Amino acid sequence: MKHALITIGDYDILNQYEISFHGFRKEDAIKETIDEMWNRLMAPRGFALCDKKDLLKDLFTLICAEFETTYNEKIPITLREGYITKNRGHQSVRHNDTSRIFSTPNNVYIDLLMSSVLFDYAATSYLWARYADQEDIKSECFKQMFYNFDALCRKGMFANVEGSLHLFNLLNLNSENWELGFIGDLYWCMISFAVCHEVSHIYLRHNIPKDTTEAHMQEFQADQVGYEIYLSLMMKYKDSSEDKEYSVFREYLYAAPMILLLFYHNLFSMSY
């Protein structure tokens, strides 16, 4: 039987297969329902999810290739997606108890919960900023943001159907098609920068830091190198046509990594 459970420290990383294998069928089913809802709502506007295309994997390959060219060295790195749990799949983990995107010398791990949280964050922040002077929309965004941090981050649970529906309705009623495209690109750029950061740790041969000073130094270095690679991808692909996976690297999204850092800032503030 296929069994790819990976344990790092106290945490178990489960791929989608093991999520159901370990009694996480409920969350799995919710994710499918959400994908369906998203398709129904957005397909008429030209934003259907494509089952055959795995954008994250495509971007990951692109980023790794950029590192290979820059460093003139090929390190084999595997992208691993899963859902971080405790107690071998039986207990959810608070978002801020552990990093949800991290790396080991030949792997980059991305938690499914993290990708779902970041999309919500990008969409809600955008609408909130756009309708800053409209009380009704602003308060809906506040509710969505609060829900996002409480249920998803604080409890480490996937969004339930009502939570996602609320966001979809907000987007459907208050955004133009080009804005949905913008939010999508912003989201992918945030994820891409996070991947650039993790691959930087690998190329810089960072080991487990011996103290906080070294840990901070490593994080700053990974941010710096990661941002340089992110910018070089942007300069290379900023004018590409819409149907290519790398068309997410639009020039005006040079500051997308700052939105990711803002997310972490909010996350840690909220946790206290």
- For Zn ion, the binding residues (CB under 5 A) are 219, 222
Residue 155 CB, nearest approach to Zn ion (Å): 24
Residue 163 or residue 226: which is nearer to Zn ion going by CB? Answer: 226
Q: Which residues pair with 12 in a beta bridge?
A: 7, 85
Strands (E), the chain: 6-8, 11-14, 78-86, 91-92, 101-104, 107-111
Nearer to Zn ion, 52 or 205 (CB): 205
| Residue 31 vs 201, nearer CB to Zn ion | 201
Q: How far is 254 from 265, CA to CA, in rounded Å? A: 19
Owner of token pair 């994710």: 31
Q: Is 83 in contact with 111 (CB distance < 8 Å)?
A: yes
CA dihedral 215, 216, 217, 223 (to 10 degrees): 110
C-alpha–C-alpha distance, residues 174 and 103, integer Å? 38
User: N- to C-terminal Cα distance for the chain?
Assistant: 42
- Considering beta carbons, is residue 126 or 193 the nearer one to Zn ion? 193
- Please state, in angstroms and rounded to a whole number, the distance separating the CA atoms of residues 237 and 251: 9
Cα–Cα distance, 89 to 184 (Å, whole number): 30
Nearest to 54 by CA among 43, 42, 65, 62: 62
Closer CB to Zn ion, 21 or 227, in the complex: 227
Nearer to Zn ion, 80 or 138 (CB): 80
Nearer to Zn ion, 108 or 233 (CB): 108
SS3 121: helix
Minimum distance, C-beta of residue 197 to Zn ion, in the bound complex (Å): 6
161: left (phi over 0), alpha (psi -120 to 50) or beta: alpha
Shortest reach from residue 219's CB to Zn ion, in Å: 5
Give the shortest CB-203-to-Zn ion separation in angstroms: 13
Rounded to a whole number of angstroms, the minimum distance from the CB of residue 246 to Zn ion is 24
* Residue closer to Zn ion (CB basis): 9 or 46: 9
Question: Smallest gap, in angstroms, from Cβ of residue 222 to Zn ion?
Answer: 5
Q: Token pair 């604080």 is at which residue?
A: 154
Minimum CB separation from Zn ion for residue 99, in Å? 7
Evaluate whether 32 touches 24 at the Cβ level (below 8 Å). Answer: no
Nearest-approach distance from CB 258 to Zn ion, in angstroms: 16
